Amino acid sequence: MPFGTVTLNDGNKIPAIAFGTGTALKGKDVTHVCQLAIDSGFSHIDTAQAYFTEETVGRAIRESGLPRSDLYITSKYQHGEIQMSVRASLYLLKLQYLDLYLIHHPSFVPDLEAGWKQFERIKDDGLAKSIGVSNFTLEQLQTVVKSARILPAVNQISFNPYNYAQNKPLLEYSAKHGIVTEAYSSLAPITRFPGGPVDAPVAAAAKRLGITPTQVILLWVKSKGVVIVTTSSSKGRLEEYMEVGDLPSLTDEEIAAIDAAGAKGPPSAIMTRGRKTPAVAGLAVGATLLFLVYMARLMACYHNKGVV
């Protein structure tokens, strides 16, 4: 396995790269793409209540024929009573436990301290080997840590060269408490902000090493001690990601050049954050419908006691 593992603050180990089933895969049958990921060398599959992919992730796990111990499965809480929701996720995945269970977003838990106590109970009951959070700011993470009996093992955040500078205090605080940072959307300089300041140092490093700009970005994420969460429905892309585990590291000068370029910000200051376009509104309606279906399934499995 080219990518190794990272030891969490609870003693468990997490693979240093994960295949994510969110983004463009939300609400889709991901059986085939999960199989592609597993065949490409991924052992860590990341799903979530909000992705509506848990059921088909579970199917891919069963069809892989691999022992449960060979796979690392993450899911995330979004809606409903926490204890019932984790059991519903396990039912859909057809698993007895999760390797990692996260609060998907702090806004989903109005009282962070009370919500975290429910997560501690999940670990105590053996429903998840490790527990953590996602999309938490420094202040929100501090709120949890100050009253936690069991520290979060992970904080999964959007992380790329363009937001590294603003996330440095969060990364430093997490490192102080042994909280591993997981990164999603790390390829944003390529997929969302092409033509920006980061392009030049990434291209230079790619030329020196004879690799792709995508691989340079992932090497940069590795250099920060951050676990990668990435996705694709292309086997070639998945293999490209996994090859990063065998590549030589970037030089300190290359890392510093990417840091400096990223601090200049993405190529456009025009952001649509907070504005609901018709397309975004349509996605919101679709997500609401999917959630209603999920809740119906959740309630059915709970009342039928069909959980593992």
Q: Which residues are catalytic?
A: 51
Distance CA 133, CA 102 (A): 5
Given a contact cutoff of 8 angstroms between Cβ atoms, the answer to whether 249 and 242 are in contact is no
The region that residue 46 occupies, defined by phi over 0 for left and psi between -120 and 50 for alpha, beta otherwise, is beta
Alpha-carbon Rg of the chain, whole angstroms?
A: 19
104 is in an annotated binding site: yes
Angle between helices 82-93 and 112-124 (to 10 degrees): 50
173 and 217 Cβ atoms separated by less than 8 Å: no
Write the CB contacts of 183 (distance below 8 Å, at least 6 apart in sequence): 156, 157, 158, 159, 160, 221, 226, 227, 228, 229
Partnered with residue 6 across adjacent β-strands are: 14
User: What is d(CA 83, CA 119) in angstroms, rounded to the nearest whole number?
Assistant: 8
- Residue 95 Rama label (left phi>0; alpha psi -120 to 50; beta): beta
Q: Binding site for substrate: what residues are annotated?
A: 104
